[in-house]
A and B are shown apart, each in its own frame.
Chain A
């Protein structure tokens, strides 16, 4: 039995980092993730961790310091949000192409402009092709659990990719909620020591890292990153199995909530999934077969598994908390529909852009999506699939 606590999502992330006790943390404060390095720096000051904390002058430097540390053979972590991630962007690609299993806590916030400090997923969606494993978290508990599993996934020799754990800015990062923590010793044992196979400070094996890579090999190296991403899927499941043995908490690539016999389904990520579960329950009481697919693993994208899980529903709505501004739906919608198409699943599916810039998403709005889906499933076809939820017109 774990430790019953109440923590905000940021406190939960900082606590996970404390228990992981990485070699290096380099971070620069930015709302709403500021508290993570803030709390962590107090752990350093109090001697609760023996981490080298690098208070850098920018996010570009935060990621650069993590890259340097990991290349040297250390375990490095960071935290950021929105424009902080934007400022890291150049180094985000360097981290993944150098196959450095850095772990980041990304507290999702709208990327400016205009300036907005509130939640949406535009920051995460901006780096979806950067070669990072991306896990999403409904609650403070999931943000904590995902971080505890992160290094085991990222550092696996068949993976060796950086990993980010996302949670919704303010909605979970600043809400105090119940959480079950693991004892420090159990975390230490579960996460294990980091023994990289190749690293710069190994005098027995002098190597170069991150050199120029032109026509002769870059293509192959990019293929290897894609291959590692494919490998990550099984590793994520294996680590989740071990985690379940330890905690009783079950994680997969996604959570199917009353999806088995569902006629209509919503696909979404992070905190909105909780609100959706409440709506699913109330619709079920009325005899409406509503279900939810809550995606946890966005990269690698479990296309085949999602297609299979949605194969028997009559209408699907994919909720994107970031607009691709391409006129044809958000990134999650594109990935889900592409996955269904490729795997021979034909279900009327529509895109809902919602919650942009912290616009609150209510149970009433989620209900309205299911109502739309009931109409769609009755007709067996949809009108305009590119929809907006909670938009004032």
Chain B
């Protein structure tokens, strides 16, 4: 039980948080882990707050409930910080990764004194520079892999290349951009001191 890493994703419908959680599950599966990747389905509308979850473990996972005390939280859209209690139950030895351009002081205020580590990344910048469109999920996926250390970067990059080739078999022109987004995001994610 202790070796399970639990991750909660907060995003808005249409931003790909669910897809990101499934891609993370895929990547961890490919490194030999036991995985769960599941969204919490609600009214599915573009822009509505959505939650998705991951469990990653080296032994079989039997629990089938939502995650209430995650090790990591990923916030795909920083407008959620004002309306959703994103750090609820988040372990203080864990970390939160936020897609934002807000500065440290502003974030600390919004996170109501969360004592764990705070990481940020400007996923919009990464996405626009590499894909020319705003798809925050790929950069956020790379960011959480880096922060959580659930697999090494080289393995992750190699695995994602395979996943994208499969996923975008009919749109090969977007594979390069997504790979660049991953590599750039791995460098861009920074801890706030």
**Chain A residues with a Cβ under 8 A of chain B:** 6, 117-118, 168, 170-172, 174-178, 271-272, 274-275, 277-278, 281-282, 360-363
Q: Which of B8-16, B56-64, B118-126 is near enough to bind chain A?
A: B56-64
Query: Cβ of B26 and Cβ of A278 under 8 Å apart?
Result: no
Tell me whether B34 and A178 are in contact (CB under 8 A). Answer: yes
> Does B168 interact with chain A (Cβ within 8 Å)?
no
Known: A6-B26, A174-B38, A178-B35. A281 touches B64 (CB 8 A): no
Interface residues of B in 11-38 (CB under 8 A from A): 22, 25-26, 29, 34-38
CB distance from A166 to the nearest CB of B (A): 14
Q: How large is the interface on B (under 10, 10 to 19, 20 to 34, 35 or more residues)?
A: 20 to 34
Q: In the docked arrangement, what's the CA distance between A171 and B41, Å?
A: 10
Q: Give A57 to B34 CA distance when docked, in angstroms.
A: 39
Binding site for A on B (CB under 8 A): 1, 22, 25-26, 29, 34-39, 41, 60-66, 68
With A118-B41, A177-B35 in contact, do A172 and B64 touch (Cβ < 8 Å)? yes
Report yes or no: A176 in contact with B25, Cβ–Cβ below 8 A: yes
CB-defined contacts of B26 to chain A, threshold 8 Å: 6, 176
Residues of chain A within 8 A (CB-CB) of B60 are 178
* A285 nearest CB across to chain B (Å): 10
Tell whether, in the assembled complex, residue B25 and residue A6 are in contact, meaning their CB atoms are under 8 Å apart. yes
Cβ contact within 8 Å between A175 and B37: yes
Q: Are B37 and A363 in contact (CB under 8 A)?
A: no
Contact of B63 among A117, A172, A178, A278 (CB under 8 A): A278
| Chain B residue at minimal CB-CB distance from A358 | B41
A-B interface, 8 closest residue pairs, ranked by CB to CB distance from nearest: A175-B38, A274-B62, A271-B64, A176-B37, A6-B29, A274-B64, A362-B65, A278-B63
B156 shortest CB reach to chain A, Å = 16
B61: chain A residues within 8 A (beta carbon): 177
Q: How far is the CA of A118 from the CA of B1 in the complex (A)?
A: 27
Is A281 a contact partner of B1 (Cβ separation < 8 A)?
yes
A275 to B64, CA, bound (A): 5
A120 CB to closest chain B CB, in angstroms? 14
B-side contacts of A278, CB under 8 Å? 1, 62-63
Contact B22–A176 (Cβ < 8 Å): yes
Query: Min CB distance, A131 to chain B, in Å?
Result: 30
Question: In the complex, what residues of A have CB within 8 A of residue B64's CB?
Answer: 168, 171-172, 175, 271-272, 274-275
Given contacts A118-B41, A170-B41, A362-B68, contact A275 B36 (CB under 8 A): no
- 16 A-B pairs within 8 Å (CB atoms) are namely A6-B25, A118-B41, A171-B64, A174-B38, A175-B36, A176-B22, A176-B26, A176-B35, A176-B37, A177-B34, A177-B36, A275-B63, A278-B1, A278-B62, A360-B65, A363-B65
CB distance from B138 to the nearest CB of A (A): 18
For residue A38, give the distance in angstroms from its CB to the closest CB of chain B.
16
Consensus secondary structure, chain A interface: mixed
Q: Which residue of chain B has the shortest Cβ distance to A272 in the bound complex?
A: B64
Residues of A within 8 A of B38 (CB): 170-171, 174-176
Q: Which residues of B sit under 8 angstroms from A272, Cβ to Cβ? A: 64
Across-interface contacts of B25 in A (CB, < 8 A): 6, 176
> Knowing A271-B64, A274-B64, A362-B68 touch, does A174 contact B35 (C-beta < 8 A)?
no
A307 CA / B92 CA spacing, docked (Å) = 47
How many Å lie between the Cα of A174 and that of B63 in the bound state?
A: 15
Q: Which residues of A contact B62 (CB under 8 A)?
A: 274-275, 277-278
Nearest B residue to A274 via CB reads B62
Contact (Cβ within 8 A) B36 A176: yes
Q: Which residues of B contact A178 (CB under 8 A)?
A: 29, 34-35, 60
Residues of A within 8 A of B66 (CB): 360, 362
Tell me the smallest distance from the CB of A17 to a CB of chain B, in Å.
22
CB neighbours (8 Å) of B63 from chain A are 274-275, 278, 363
Minimum C-beta distance from A190 to chain B (A) = 24
Q: A282 CA to B63 CA in the complex, in Å? A: 12
CA distance A118 to B39 in the complex (A): 12
The reply to whether A275 and B41 contact each other, CB–CB distance below 8 Å, is: no
Shortest CB distance A2–B (Å)? 15
What residues on A are CB-neighbors of B37 within 8 Å?
175-176
The listed residue with most B CB atoms (<10 A of its CB), out of A174, A272, A281, is A174
- Please, how many angstroms separate the alpha-carbon atoms of A362 and B66 in the complex? 8
- Give the complex CA separation of A27 and B177 in angstroms: 40
Please judge, given known A-B contacts A176-B22, A178-B60, A272-B64, whether A282 and B1 are in contact too, CB under 8 Å.
yes
Q: Which residues of chain B have C-beta atoms less than 8 A from A275's C-beta?
A: 62-65
Interchain CB contact under 8 A, A361 and B36: no
A168 and B65 alpha carbons, distance in the complex (Å): 12
A9 to B147, CA, bound (A): 30
- Complex CA–CA separation, A170 to B36 (angstroms): 12
Partner of A174, one of B34, B39, B65: B39
Contacts A6-B25, A117-B41, A175-B64 known; 4 new A-B pairs at CB < 8 A = A118-B41, A175-B37, A275-B62, A281-B1
Q: Are A174 and B41 in contact (CB under 8 A)?
A: yes
- Report how far A118 CA is from B41 CA in the complex, Å: 8
- Report the separation of the CA atoms of residues A6 and B38 in the bound assembly, to the nearest whole angstrom: 12
A274 to B65, CA, bound (A): 9
Q: Which residues of chain B are within 8 angstroms of A6 by Cβ–Cβ distance?
A: 25-26, 29, 35
B4 to chain A: closest residue by CB: A278
